[in-house]
Amino acid sequence: MDHNTHSTAGPRELQMARSMCWHCQSEVAGEYFCDRCVKVQPVSKELDYFTCLGFPRRLTIDQHQLEAKFYELSRAFHPDFYQNKSAAEQTISLGNSAMLNTAYRTLRDPIERAEYLLDLEAGSVKEIRNSPPADLFEEILELQDTLNEYRATGRVSETESPLRAKLRSERNTLEQRQRDMEATLQQLFVQWDKLQDRGEATDQARAERDRILKQMREHLSNRTYVKNIVSDLASTIG
């Protein structure tokens, strides 16, 4: 089958508020509902998830606030509350709910949130690493050999024990590696938020911004790589 993976990247700039109510054609001043005819308004598909949920583009988000906002908007948009409304309003409710659910799912998880922000800020499609990060190269190659050997022994034979023990310790090492990467990412998230809060438009600030994004990208992709190896390992040795 012929298909390309669709990029989730929307336009970079913040979308302007909708100008006109689809129903009464009056100027829409309200956030989600027309002030005049009280009809629900479609959330623009170009709206980024941060804006959709009413949060600034920061990587530290209060989970409780996020959840509260999600619940509030769910009550506003969910199809359950549009059963007696017109077909057009039902369609809008369905689209808005689906968008809201995606936005919440993305922002709820710190890693997905960062990947999404990176996508918005630097326009990167999620990068999937095919080769190990440089500092892990030797280690991973060796691990692959051990894994192959382990698989070849048929897993049940007596000879597996030392191999299995070795794989176990490898797994622990890699899991620690993953945690380290996540800790580094956490620091980068804080740096990003501070930089944004300062709101400087200097060359220095721009360079700092690019540095943080670049490092974030690298660590995110390394982490994904290690995480995949760990889960592969986990499913092999059980």
Partner 1 sequence: MARIVGIDLGTTNSLVAYMADGRPRVIPGRNGRTMVPSVVAMTDNGLIVGDSAKEHLTRSPERTVYSVKRFMGKGLEDVQGELAYFPYHLTEQGGVIRIKLGEKSYSPPQISAMILKELKQRAEAYLGESITKAVITVPAYFNDSQRQATKDAGMIAGLDVLRIINEPTAASLAYGLQQKTQGTIAVYDLGGGTFDISILKLKNGIFEVLATNGDTHLGGDDFDRQIADLFVREIREQQGLDLNAYPDHMQAVRLEAERTKIRLSDELKATAILDLPEGKGRYSRDFTRDQVESLSMELVERSLEPCRLALKDAGLTPNDIDEVVLVGGSTRMPLVRQRVQALFGKEPHCELDPDEVVALGAAVQADILSGGTTDLLLLDVTPLSLGIETMGGVMSSLIRRNTTIPASAKEMFTTYVDGQTGVDIHILQGERELVRDNRSLARFRLKVPPLPAGVPRIEVTFLIDANGILNVSARDVRTGETQSLAVKPSFGLSDDEVERMIGESFKFAADDLKARQLIEARTEAEVILMATEKALKQGGHLVGEEDLSSIRSSMAAVEATKSGEDHKAIRAKMADLENATHHLAEVLMDTSLKEALENKKLSEIT
Q: Where do the DSSP E strands lie in 183-230?
A: none
Tell me the C-alpha to C-alpha distance, in Å, between residue 70 and each of 54, 96, 153: 10, 12, 51
40: helix, strand or coil? strand
Nearer to partner 1, 94 or 213 (CB): 94
6: helix, strand or coil? coil
CB of 68 to partner 1, least distance (A): 9
Rounded Cα distance, 153 and 129, in Å: 29
Query: Which spans of this chain sit near partner 1 (rule: CB under 8 A)?
Result: 1-6, 71, 74-75, 78-81, 83-84, 94-95, 97-99, 101-102, 104-105
Nearer to partner 1, 161 or 235 (CB): 235
Nearer to partner 1, 108 or 164 (CB): 108
CB of 62 to partner 1, least distance (A): 16
Q: Find the distance separating the first CA and the last CA of the chain, reported in whole Å.
A: 34
Nearer to partner 1, 2 or 203 (CB): 2
CB of 71 to partner 1, least distance (A): 5
- Cβ neighbors of 65 (< 8 A, separation 6 or more) are 55
Cross-strand bridge partners of residue 40? 33
CB of 79 to partner 1, least distance (A): 5
CB of 9 to partner 1, least distance (A): 12
Nearer to partner 1, 20 or 98 (CB): 98
